[in-house]
């Protein structure tokens, strides 16, 4: 199975109400080298703040299938650069859990200046099996790390978790299209984003929002990934809050609705 649609539908686009306790990363994944003096470079302006936590409900057809949280955990020095730590935790619920037990956690470490990802951690707990994957990303032209393997990617590459925050960093009232490379831990995709509506009114979680609606289409090796599209509705508010995500993937159609605002 192509893991990209599943990862985005359950990792990036899902959200949590009562998530499972976080699984502790192995020592190698938790290690943070001693802080060093960081290069004087301004962080990219963003509409979100450290500590923001968004909770969502995910509907598969008419039924509640999963919950998740999408969180901007912190902005701090990490691996000798100023970085954002983003996290998604997702769990299936109700009848969907009887069909497919899923309790996953995804952590993204993103350069605060460029918003490019440089470390992506996946803690997969599905159907009673646990897997841990840590991927370090190095942009073209950058020196490889001296303390472990890394994947060479184009400059500006984001991971699936950092992608949503990168979308929010753009002013969609003035942006019509945006393209970015996305590495999901296994494959490199080109993600093409296009504003298709806005400002318009949508309903999510029983509330009405004025939003800009963004169409996302993933491409792999120049060809659009079949049967896979996403519509992200970003509120026309200072935080550009993601209030609704509609996913069309081979597994079916998912509707991801904001359940509670940042706290």
CATH number at residue 56: 2.40.360
- Kindly tell me if the per-residue pLDDT of 56 is higher than 90: yes
- pLDDT at position 197 is 94
From its phi and psi, is residue 63 left (phi > 0), alpha (psi between -120 and 50) or beta?
beta
Beta bridge partners of 235: 211
**pLDDT single digits (tens) 146-187:** 778 899 999 999 999 999 999 999 999 999 999 999 999 999
Task: Evaluate whether residue 30 is within a structural domain.
Answer: no
Residue 31 belongs to a domain = no
Q: How many CB atoms lie within 10 A of CB 206?
A: 7
d(CA 8, CA 191) in angstroms, rounded, equals: 12
Rg, the chain, Cα only: 18
Report yes or no on 148 lying in a domain: yes
- How many domains in the chain? 1
Specify if 243 maps to a domain. Answer: yes
Q: Is residue 29 part of a domain?
A: no
Cα separation, 127 vs 114, whole angstroms? 37
Residue 189, domain member (yes or no): yes
Range of the domain at 145: 3-24+44-260
260-to-43, 68, 85, 218 alpha-carbon distances in Å = 28, 11, 21, 28
Q: β-strands 81-92, 103-111: how paired?
A: antiparallel
Residue of 185, 182, 235, 190 lying closest to 213 (CA atoms): 235
Would 38 be classed as within a structural domain? no
pLDDT (average), residues 28-36: 40
Over the stretch 189-233, which tens digit does the pLDDT of each residue have?
A: 999 999 999 999 999 988 999 999 999 999 999 999 999 999 999
Residue 27, pLDDT above cutoff 60 = no
Output the 3-class SS for 192-251. Answer: EEEEEEEEEEEEECCEEEEEEEEEEEEEECCEECCCCEEEEEEECCCCCCEEEEEEEECC
Q: How many residues does the chain have?
A: 263
Tell me: pLDDT of 61 over 60: yes
In a domain, 37, yes or no: no
């Amino acid at each position: 199975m192509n893991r990209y649609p599943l990862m985005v539908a359950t990792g990036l686009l899902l959200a949590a109400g009562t998530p499972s306790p976080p699984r502790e990363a192995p020592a190698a994944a938790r290690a943070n080298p001693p802080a060093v003096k960081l290069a004087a470079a301004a962080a990219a302006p963003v509409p979100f703040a450290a500590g923001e936590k968004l909770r969502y409900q995910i509907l598969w057809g008419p039924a509640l299938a999963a919950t998740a949280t999408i969180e901007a955990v912190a902005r701090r020095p990490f691996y000798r650069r100023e970085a954002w730590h983003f996290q998604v935790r997702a769990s299936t619920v109700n009848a969907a859990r009887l069909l497919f037990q899923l309790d996953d956690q995804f952590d993204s470490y993103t350069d605060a200046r460029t918003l490019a990802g440089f470390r992506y951690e996946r803690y997969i707990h599905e159907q009673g099996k646990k897997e841990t994957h840590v991927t370090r990303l190095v942009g073209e032209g950058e020196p490889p790390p001296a303390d472990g393997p890394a994947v060479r990617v184009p400059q500006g590459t984001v991971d699936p978790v950092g992608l949503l925050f990168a979308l929010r960093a753009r002013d969609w009232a003035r942006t019509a299209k945006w393209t970015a490379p996305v590495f999901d831990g296994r494959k490199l995709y080109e993600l093409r984003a296009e504003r298709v509506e806005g400002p318009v009114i949508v309903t999510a979680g029983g509330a009405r929002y004025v939003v800009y609606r963004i169409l996302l289409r993933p491409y792999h090796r120049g060809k659009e990934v079949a049967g896979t599209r996403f519509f992200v509705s970003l509120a026309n508010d200072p935080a550009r809050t993601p209030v609704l995500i509609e996913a069309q993937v081979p597994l079916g159609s998912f509707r991801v609705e904001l359940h509670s605002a940042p706290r």
